[in-house]
Structure 1
């Protein structure tokens, strides 16, 4: 059985030829170290993850394999599943943790929700524990006890290969482990984390619930299409519902879809790119971008804020069930394309992996922006009259961001007054400095 969010073979072949064959080193940059402080600063956040191919060792359970394009999952901090519903329905809740995964196996759902960050990613194991066959079986039983698929129907082909005498309900958990839950059992990952406001989390939750509601009671059934409606479309459009970026229409004309369909690892870079599209001090660019103007005026939020983090996690090792040499490619040209070199830029900059470095960078930037503030009257000589509302909202936002950064640096100094979680920057790495405010 193949992975449920794979790229078409010919496209994968082209991408694989372009992107190279060397598996990435998922040990770099590693997981975020200051998790508790991060959650104290950012009560709501969404995490877009590109997870690697899956490659199961033969002779134990379902034969599961996937291509190097991998799969994509979403994790929400600040959302939880409705405990009164066996069918996956989200709601916002403080400190709630829910993983979201789309699967081609589903008939009456677009996605499944998995409560708890640890179980979603690591099943019953700690991140640094190896996977045994016994732990694998215990994890499947734990997932069944949680009723992850009790209200989700699977397609006949997804259950057709189960051994004689195996209940269909049990086989749901066999073909889904390592993809929808206990993801790290069979896959490594890169994730980009995005803090959002409470209203934005509500918008994300409402979007996902609306997607599932299309199929919950029929007669319409969920049909995935790699080019026109894949796992990345779901996650991309969930963030678009929060006005982070523009939505990506599903079921586009096939030729157009072939040129624009989202790829898991590309989407990680796309998120980081969107966050830094405009310098936070460039009022002209922020105002003339309809999305950033809207989110600032309506939500008091801009995409390039502190807390945008890139991290990585390896597959559980040692591993008695899955192979651990895993690929995850860009759909890109490795020499001339954007994604490989830009991803390396993000890997090279500590502010994308270490919360302390992240907050220090923004502290420097915000101090500079405040120092270089230009009077409104000067702006109105060149900008429309309604720029005044944007200008006032911007500097209100700036004060709130400065307070947030100061709070975070204080919390980190209390938690670890003399240590840094980030190793020394390798020789030759060019340090990224905040741009000057009001750049044009």
Structure 2
């Protein structure tokens, strides 16, 4: 047992050091997570869709607000602390807000539970009291039908936490989280924050109405990133058969136009963010010019595909030390075989992801080589134009900006590699982005 405890402690130390390294190199980032089904021991498992959450480094909880709101970390603030940032989670029980914010990576994912500790009723109750005392759920109202079940002596905040733990806080008590990271600039994070604040402001005025198909946790996460230009926004609709039918029609439109439908599911968000961070065409100027997502982010001065877009897995607390929860099924993935098949990619990312998306050093080296090859293959703008005449002016402008951006990214990646090697030399050992 002593050897197991020592091993867990060493891995946790490596993981903490690796997170500090990541935050030092990429101080502003988002992490979109698709989490598994909630399954309390002895109870019926939860919904089949899973759950979507968002973690933001560079954001803080606004201490002056009477309900959950965020603010951008002050310029110049060090964001390298491995426990910096806030976790965002939407819950269908909320009535006057859309989401709750939890301070710190450790509380959001682990609930303060170390790998060598046992999750039993005593620890669970202590975690509930800690989350209640932290004030994260202050100002949140929930649906009347549920609130009427609150025992008279119990504080409303504690009652809400009891219906949120394992979903909005301490995720790994009950669930495994599959997460895709994406570094962003400070302004882009500011846009994410502004969208989320507007969602809670709107819920204060008119309430929040969750719907499994037309307006769920995944819609909120997706549209928060759309506000930063990562992808096109989705329409979040109200309940009812007509609105579900509109979402179904959006699938046909999406397939015809190679765009996104208005349906939104947690696992799809996870795969989509991996693709945005790793698979957009940055190797060829014509392909980049033809991709409206690349052009949109470049108009804002950045590219979503680049170093730091890693995959991280935060497993449910280990079964032999988990007295309260059993592993649930993976989140539902919407996939259209032969046309829009994401199932194999989800399996690859969650079961055997390559080191280029799990190891920061390998990731940086991969992008350094990718940028260098793009520059080495550069042809003249006239060669690229060929027979294109309708958009010649736009392509000439884009051509210059594209190769300037690639050269700048190569220079930044070289600098990050140098800093990574310095910081990595201080780590106690190699680490992949998976917690035991």
Task: Please give the range of the TM-score, normalised by the shorter of the 2 chains.
Answer: 0.7 to 0.9
Task: Confirm whether residue 256 of structure 1 aligns to residue 246 of structure 2.
Answer: yes
Indicate whether 1:147 and 2:113 are aligned: no
**Alignment partner, residue 74 of structure 1:** 54
Q: Does 1:340 align with 2:324?
A: no
1:107–1:223 Cα contact (<8 Å) kept: yes
From 194, 203, 207, the counterpart of 1:215: 203
In 1, Cα distance between equivalents of 2:151 and 2:234: 40
Structure 1: distance between partners of 2:316 and 2:186: 32
- Give the 3-state SS of the residue equivalent to 1:190 in structure 2: strand
Unaligned runs of 5+ in 2: 1-13, 252-260
* Separation of aligned partners in 2, 1:251 and 1:38: 37
Once the two structures are superposed, the pairs formed by residues 39-438 of structure 1 within 5 Å of their partners are: 39-58=23-42, 65-93=45-73, 94=77, 95=79, 96-127=84-115, 129-163=117-151, 165-216=153-204, 218=205, 220-251=206-237, 253-258=243-248, 260=261, 261-298=263-300, 300-317=301-318, 318-332=320-334, 338-346=341-349, 347-381=352-386, 382=388, 384-417=392-425, 420-421=430-431
The one-character-per-residue Cα deviations of 1:375-423 (angstroms, maximum 9, x if unpaired) are: 2343355352132332222223222211222223223322345964359
Aligned residues: 387
2 CA distance for matches of 1:193 and 1:128?
A: 27
Counterpart of 2:101 in 1: which secondary structure?
strand
If the length of structure 2 is used for normalisation, what is the TM-score? 0.82
Deviates more, 1:330-339 or 1:161-170: 330-339
Q: How many Å separate the matches in 2 of 1:412 and 1:168?
A: 46
CA-to-aligned-CA distance 1:125-162 (integer Å, 9 cap, x gap): 23553312222111111111121222111112223434
Q: How far apart, in 1, do the equivalents of 2:432 and 2:201 lie?
A: 43
Where 2:49 maps in the other structure, the secondary structure is coil
What does the per-residue CA deviation read over 1:156-203, in whole Å, with 9 as the maximum and x for residues that have no partner? 222343445333332111111111111111111100001111111111
* 2:5 counterpart residue number: none
Q: Partner of 1:179: helix, strand, or coil?
A: coil
| Kept in 2: contact 1:86–1:147 (CA 8 A) | no
CA RMSD, Structure 1 to Structure 2 (Å): 2.6
Q: Partner of 1:18 in structure 2? A: none
Change (3 A) 1:276 1:414: closer
SS of 1:215 mapped into structure 2: helix
Structure 1 residue aligned with 2:18: 34
5+ residue gaps, structure 1: 1-29, 424-440
